[in-house]
């Protein structure tokens, strides 16, 4: 490509800031629905600090893609399994920055280790790469992890039972927490809903409880946090950035936010920088 053609193509191919904002917010709405199953228009407008009309436009866009259904005053996932398989949703999630984080996370695993994997969609993207590192022992409360890794005999699976949460396809509650406390792991890989300031939040208190227990039984905790996680909002506190042994993020994270995280005690690696990957 010649130098004089590149700027012209860039102008036509790069999405506008407004379109990028809309796509990012719609992606976060889907992430929230995977946790909660449904949400009201008013709650979403407050969470993302936009108007109700903006949320209605987002909802209409997602509904046209067959991802959600609009209800009176709210929205819900149309079909959890189908949405995960939708090409539009897969492409939105499989960004280059997130894949860079996943690649680096995988490079930190060694055969024979005992790993904890949470039920997040970010950690789920690690699963196809794990069989090549076998033998491994995997501890998880996520049915999706168990289902994906069952075919591989060199991966020992320990599933934490308890109260089954259908929207998240995972187990929570007292039984799950007690089972986890009887175990020990080398490394836990996890993600979170939102990082507001220098604090990680979840939208469900049961999720916070089991993640904290799993962090306690792990010698090392690695938080996978692509730049889209850094936003306003959050309900239930999971922990400060210094509660994780390592935080992996991407080059799209603003330098000012990086500085705040490091000042708050985070061990931060920016994947895509030479220092990380």
For every residue of 86-153, DSSP letters joined together read -HHHHHHH--HHHHHHHHHHHHT--TT-EEEE-S-HHHHTTGGGSGGG-SEEEEESBHHHHHHHTT-T
Same domain as 252, residue 121: yes
Same domain as 155, residue 230: yes
**Given a cut of 70, is residue 20 above it in pLDDT?**
no
Q: What domain range includes position 121?
A: 94-271
Asked which of 41, 72, 90 is the last residue of a domain, the reply is 90
pLDDT digits (tens, 9 = 90+) for 107-124: 999 999 999 999 998 898
The CATH number covering residue 120 comes to: 3.40.50.1360
Residue 131 lies in a domain: yes
**Given a cut of 60, is residue 241 above it in pLDDT?**
yes
Same domain as 207, residue 108: yes
Residue 277 lies in a domain: no
pLDDT digits (tens, 9 = 90+) for 2-15: 333 333 333 334 44
Which of 217, 267, 273 has its CA nearest to residue 243? 267
Q: How many domains does the chain have?
A: 2
Name the pLDDT band for 266 (thresholds 50, 70, 90): very high
Same domain as 122, residue 54: no
Place of tokens 């492409």: 91
Residue 234 lies in a domain: yes
pLDDT at residue number 166: 83
Same domain as 158, residue 59: no
Name the pLDDT band for 198 (thresholds 50, 70, 90): very high
pLDDT digits (tens, 9 = 90+) for 67-100: 888 888 899 888 766 666 564 554 555 466 788 8
**Given a cut of 80, is residue 253 above it in pLDDT?**
yes
Question: With contact defined as beta carbons under 8 Å apart, do 106 and 131 qualify?
Answer: no
Asked which of 49, 70, 90 is the last residue of a domain, the reply is 90
């Amino acid at each position: 490509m010649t130098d004089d053609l590149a700027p012209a193509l860039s102008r036509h191919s790069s999405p506008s800031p407004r379109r990028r904002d809309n796509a990012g917010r719609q992606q976060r709405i889907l992430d929230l629905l995977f946790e909660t199953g449904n949400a009201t228009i008013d709650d979403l407008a407050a969470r993302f600090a936009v108007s109700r009309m903006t949320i209605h436009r987002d909802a209409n866009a997602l509904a046209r893609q067959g991802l959600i259904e609009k209800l009176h005053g709210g929205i819900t996932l149309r079909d959890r399994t189908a949405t995960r398989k939708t090409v539009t949703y897969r492409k939105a999630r499989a960004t280059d920055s997130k894949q860079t984080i996943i690649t680096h996370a995988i490079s930190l695993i060694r055969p024979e280790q005992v790993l904890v994997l949470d039920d997040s969609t970010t950690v789920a993207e690690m699963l196809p790469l794990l069989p090549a590192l076998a033998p491994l022992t995997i501890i998880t409360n996520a049915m999706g992890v168990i289902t994906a890794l069952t075919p591989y005999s060199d991966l020992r699976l320990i599933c934490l039972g308890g109260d089954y949460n259908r929207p998240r396809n995972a187990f929570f509650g007292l039984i799950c927490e007690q089972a986890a406390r009887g175990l020990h792991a080398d490394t836990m890989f996890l993600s979170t809903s939102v990082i507001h300031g220098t604090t990680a939040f979840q939208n469900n208190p049961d999720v916070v409880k089991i993640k904290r227990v799993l962090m306690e039984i792990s010698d090392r905790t690695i938080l996978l946090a692509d730049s889209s996680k850094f936003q306003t909002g959050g309900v239930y506190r999971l922990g400060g950035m210094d509660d994780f042994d390592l935080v992996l993020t991407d080059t799209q994270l603003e330098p000012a936010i990086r500085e705040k995280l490091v000042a708050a005690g985070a061990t931060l690696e920016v994947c895509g920088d030479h220092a990380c990957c």
